[in-house]
Amino acid sequence: MSFDPDKMLRKGVVSLEPYVPGRSIEDVQKEYRLDRVIKLASNENVLGPSPLAISDLSISFSDIHRYPDSGSKSLRNSLGIYNKVDSSSIFIGNGGDDVLSVLSRTILNDGDEVILPTPSFAPYEHVSRLMGAIPVLIPLENFEINLDGILESLTKKTKLIFLCSPNNPTGKILSKNQLLRFLESLPENILVLIDEAYVDFVERDKSVDTVSMLKEKSLFILRSFSKIFGLAGLRVGYGIGNSELINFMDRVREPFNVNSVAQSASLAALNDSDFKNRVIKLVLDGRELLYAGFNRLGLKFIESQANFIFVEVGDGDKISNELMSRGIIVRPGSFFKNKEWIRVTVGNSEEIRIFLEKLKEILP
């Protein structure tokens, strides 16, 4: 029996491109027969997972024969306190991409328009197309999110706007004044999702309290345990938004969408302030080391407020492959339609030293 995608699949599925993750350490070791590989491609936490989360695992493993708390109530309550909002404003998902998926399934219909800055986080377009919505792509302007361009692109069909701050892959943020002016210019019934997966790495004098804007604006804030707490493998993300919207999202999500081990580890990690502070210091110090190294090499780069830096190297694919053969994994800029660039995760000082040495060997 033949399979006809046009007849069998949901309309939005045909237009989807598969997500391409960064290469794994194991794959690169096997391909190039390397003993050591440094991965600076996926913006993972260089210090590993929160020690408090690890210490909690033995306890949570003993209960994995039980179903998890479907509502993640303890974690929601703690996140409410952590973010100074009512727990009814918190949605817990199986990673940030699950939160995006549930939100899209909750509010998007065929023909709705969704505005997406580009380049930015690829799953925004994926979840929009899946629901039959029409992505409206607004290119960055000088690597900044073009808020004026977004406003000019609004139509009666616009339902959702994705903003990533700090933006992936550039690491640039939207200022408080930029964001307030933009939100005040929007008509009603347009939801703005602000993805703050990297917000913990923003310098204090540049930080924006988006949570304080929730009462006045139609906002939904996305955050993650993957980056600052090092729990990417357990997949926990959360959203902060209107409690009525959260209630409907709870109807749409899978009944047990966050496993018990992930809930327990995330709950423990929230109390690991010492680890969080160490991670932030390492990233801020590491950014400065990379800036200095790129300046010595005469490379153009974008100053970042995240745990990665976007740097122009000429032929990003070639440089990425050359680095990989030498045991360094970075993210080629072609993934973000900027083929002259690469995105480099901030590693520890030793990883940064080795990366810069290998990069110097490769550059013409």
Look at 24-28, 34-38, 154-158, 215-219 and tell me which has the smallest mean pLDDT: 215-219
Lowest mean pLDDT among 6-20, 28-42, 58-72, 116-130: 6-20
Q: Is pTM, for the whole model, over 0.85?
A: yes
* 236 neighbors 92 (Cβ within 8 angstroms): yes
Phi, psi of 271 (to 5 degrees): -90, 0
CA pair distance 93, 234, nearest whole angstrom: 11
User: 217-234 pLDDT, tens per residue?
Assistant: 799 999 999 999 999 999
- Torsion angle of C-alpha atoms 133, 138, 143, 145, degrees rounded to 10: -80
Over residues 282-300, the mean pLDDT reads: 98
24 CB-contact burial (10 Å; exposed 0-12 / middle 13-18 / buried 19+)? middle
Q: Are strands 331-332 and 90-93 parallel, antiparallel or unpaired?
A: unpaired
**Partners of 191 in beta bridges:** 160
pLDDT, residue 7, reads 74
pLDDT of residue 156: 96
Confidence of residue 90 (pLDDT cuts 50, 70, 90): very high
The answer to whether residue 150 scores a pLDDT higher than 70 is yes
Q: Does residue 18 register a pLDDT over 90?
A: no
Q: Residue 205, Cα to own-chain centre: how many angstroms?
A: 22
Q: What is the total residue count of the chain?
A: 364
CATH entry 1.20.1250.20 includes domain 65-269: no
Q: Where are the domains of the chain?
A: 5-48+274-362, 65-269
166-208 pLDDT per residue, tens? 999 999 999 999 999 999 999 988 999 999 999 999 998 899 9
Q: HEC string of the chain?
A: CCCCHHHHCCHHHHHCCCCCCCCCHHHHHHHHCCCCCEECCCCCCCCCCCHHHHHHHHHHHCCCCCCCCCCCHHHHHHHHHHHCCCHHHEEEECCHHHHHHHHHHHHCCCCCEEEEEECCCCHHHHHHHHCCCEEEEEECECCECCHHHHHHCCCCCEEEEEEECCCCCCCCCCCHHHHHHHHHCCCCCCEEEEECCCHHHCCHHHCCCHHHHCCCCCEEEEEECCCCCCCHHHCCEEEEECHHHHHHHHHHCCCCCCCHHHHHHHHHHCCCHHHHHHHHHHHHHHHHHHHHHHHHCCCCECCCCCCEEEEECCCHHHHHHHHHHCCEECEEHHHHCCCCEEEEECCCHHHHHHHHHHHHHHCC
Return the CATH superfamily for domain 5-48+274-362: Aspartate Aminotransferase, domain 1 (3.90.1150.10)
How high is the pLDDT of residue 1? 61
Summarised one tens digit per residue, pLDDT across range 231-281 is 999 999 999 999 999 999 999 999 999 999 999 999 999 999 999 999 999
Over 80: is that where the pLDDT of 356 sits? yes
What is the pLDDT of the chain when averaged over all its residues?
A: 93
- Rg from Cα positions in the chain: 21
Confidence of residue 20 (pLDDT cuts 50, 70, 90): confident
Distance (Å, whole) CA 149 – CA 158: 14
> How far is it, in rounded angstroms, from Cα 140 to Cα 45?
27
Nearest to 157 by CA among 102, 108, 89, 195: 108
pLDDT band at 63; cut points 50, 70, 90: confident
Q: Are strands 341-345 and 308-312 parallel, antiparallel or unpaired?
A: antiparallel
Angle, helices 243-252 vs 96-107, to 10°: value is 100
Which residue would you say has higher pLDDT here, 333 or 4?
333
